[in-house]
Amino acid sequence: MFVYSVGADRQRAWVAQCTTPATPLEPAQVAEGFGRSDLRLAYFDCAQSWLYPTGGQSPGWFALAKAAEIGDARWLAAARLSYEQKRAGFSPPFRIYEDNAGVDYAAEGRMHVAPSNAALPDALATPEINLPVTFEHLTLLGYTLDRSTLKPGEAAHLETVWRVDSVPGRLLSIMAHALGPDGHAVAVGDGLGVPIESWQPGDVFVQRHTLTMPKDAPPGSYWIQTGVYWLEDGKHWAARDSPRRW
């Protein structure tokens, strides 16, 4: 049993749980442990993503299994450990962190917008624009790349930051490709760690992509291509107010 007493000035609105390696708490356990039945419940895979419910506009709690592997330690930097269950009982050992509406994500960047099937020289010939860029249901707020120089066989991690503008009714994926000098993809890191069932307008999430260079990759300049596509047919989303697709 874990019970919290929270002042009215810090009324928390949500509990976001990491689902890997296991979701710590069932909905009934959340209601009993926090003493509230009105908390929003959200779920995400913290090994590859992080969810900021309401985009950091309201405080809440994160719940993670003690054995959870977090893709980027910065994601928890603004949260405070408030409870730790060390013994396995009705669930595996877990930790609860208080989040006081703090966020730590990139909200800037520049990029080219071009059709996903455009030749690389044509894509690079388009003007660079500042983020954010809005798509059908999401807005790309920013991105970070942890390293700019790689040797063959090494990996880089790209983090793309998205705001939910509306909730789609179909499954999708966030695209991340490393394009070689000839414009062909040499590494693919597509994925979505926050299921659409956990989305609400105003949420912000970070998707972490791992791009591993082939061991036989020739030297040269490589480019990152990102965007969103529907899983059922592979159709890429268009940037709003633009006929071009990423």
CA separation, residue 151 to residues 156, 188, 190, 215, 217 (Å): 10, 17, 21, 8, 8
CA separation, residue 33 to residues 107, 226, 238 (Å): 35, 40, 44
Strands 49-52 and 204-212 come out as antiparallel
CA separation, residue 17 to residues 30, 32, 86, 154, 226 (Å): 10, 16, 17, 31, 27
At residue 167, does pLDDT exceed 60?
yes
pLDDT bucket at 89, cuts 50 / 70 / 90: low
At residue 161, does pLDDT exceed 90?
yes
pLDDT at 90: 61
Q: What is the pLDDT of residues 179-198, one digit of tens each?
A: 988 888 999 999 999 999 99
Mean pLDDT of 15-37: 95
Q: Please give the Cα distance from 194 to 51 (Å, whole number).
A: 7
Check residue 46 and give left, alpha or beta (phi > 0: left; psi -120 to 50: alpha).
alpha
Q: Side-chain half-sphere of 128: how many Cα atoms within 13 Å?
A: 5
pLDDT at 182: 82
